[in-house]
């Protein structure tokens, strides 16, 4: 039986990941947690847009805002 998307993302816990959001922002940080709704917690998060880059610290992201999730080796997933 195939693994669900939550189990795939759980394999990336404690690793540095890059997320692309619906509004074209990119966030990079250490993945601390994920729940059954694919909400994510990142530590040492950095936000990048076309205009600016800024350090955010710890953030909680609603899973439905995430378009792609890339792990350290570029393994992608679509959590929403």
The count of structural domains within the chain is: 1
CATH number of the domain within which 43 lies = 2.30.30.100
Give the confidence band of 78 by pLDDT, cuts at 50, 70, 90. very low
Q: What pLDDT was estimated at residue 5? A: 79
Q: In what order do the strands lie in the sheet with 66-70?
A: 53-61, 40-48, 26-34, 16-21, 66-70, 76-77
Whole domain around residue 41: which residue ranges?
Answer: 5-70
Give the confidence band of 2 by pLDDT, cuts at 50, 70, 90. low
Give the confidence band of 20 by pLDDT, cuts at 50, 70, 90. very high
In a domain, 61, yes or no: yes
**What is the per-residue pLDDT across 38-58, written as a single tens digit (0 to 9) for each?**
999 999 999 999 999 999 999
List, in sequence order, every beta strand (DSSP E) within 4-78: 16-21, 26-34, 40-48, 53-61, 66-70, 76-77
Contacting residues for 1 by C-beta, under 8 A, at least 6 apart: none
Give the confidence band of 26 by pLDDT, cuts at 50, 70, 90. very high
């Amino acid at each position: 039986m195939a693994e669900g998307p939550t189990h795939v993302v759980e394999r990336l816990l404690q690793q540095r990941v890059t997320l692309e959001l619906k509004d074209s922002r990119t966030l990079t940080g250490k993945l601390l947690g994920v729940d059954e709704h694919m909400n994510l917690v990142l530590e040492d998060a950095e936000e990048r847009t076309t205009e600016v880059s800024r350090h955010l610290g710890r953030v909680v992201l609603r899973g439905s805002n995430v378009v792609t999730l890339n792990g350290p080796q570029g393994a992608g997933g679509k959590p929403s």
